[in-house]
Amino acid sequence: MSASNHVSLRSMIYAALFGALTAIGAFIVIPLQPVPITLQSLFTCLAGILLGSSVGAMSQIVYVLLGIIGLPVFAGGKAGIGVLLGPTGGYLLGFIAAALVIGQIVRMKRNPGLLWLILALVAGNLAIYLLGITQLILTTHLSVYQALIIGLLPFLPGDIFKLAAAAWLARMLYQYFPFGRQAS
């Protein structure tokens, strides 16, 4: 096995940890319909920055798989493939894409500054919104305008706060614990 294909035990542990943190973030919820506000994206963003693209995405795959197999880790304690196929499923898939995008952008700079991290986080959140709103439209037959009102606008204030918190936390944690970003 080549070094580029090797996934270390440490990387697997971090992927499991951030998958679990994302699950915990699902229980901190403001129950809007059909898409609730949660802290999941905060942990998705941190996974992308701290773990890099492949391990960060793996952490979100772990999270989604836990929910698919029936553990109540999705927002509001939901579980099952039906959630992934329903109105909020695109957001769940967006977490995987976001961690991948964030990790790739962060990786482009040797020592990413705060603005670079914020750029990466915004790009990652755009991936969440793109997949989430697309599936919301497809499953609920809302217009694009209605889907943006329901699936984007309520989240912007909180997401701005979560992005700032993720950038700050990542800078603090990376300074002391550079986790596994180089493993991407």
> CA angle, 175 as apex, 40 and 6 as ends, to 5°?
70
Q: At what angle do helices 53-68 and 9-26 cross, to 10 degrees?
A: 50
pTM of the model: 0.90
Using the predicted structure, report yes or no on whether residue 171 has a pLDDT greater than 90: no
CA distance 91 to 136: 9
Q: Quickly state the pLDDT bin for 5 (edges 50, 70, 90).
A: low
pLDDT in tens, 74-110: 998 999 999 999 999 999 999 999 999 999 999 998 8
pLDDT in tens, 9-25: 888 999 999 999 999 99
Torsions phi, psi for 30 (to 5 deg): -110, 110
DSSP 14-69: HHHHHHHHHHHHHTSEE--SSS-EESHHHHHHHHHHHH-HHHHHHHHHHHHHHHHT
CATH number of 9-183: 1.10.1760.20
Total Cβ atoms within 10 A of residue 12: 14
Q: Which two tokens stand for residue 63?
A: 């999270």
- Least Cα distance to 91 among 67, 117, 113 occurs for 67
CA distance 184 to 14: 13
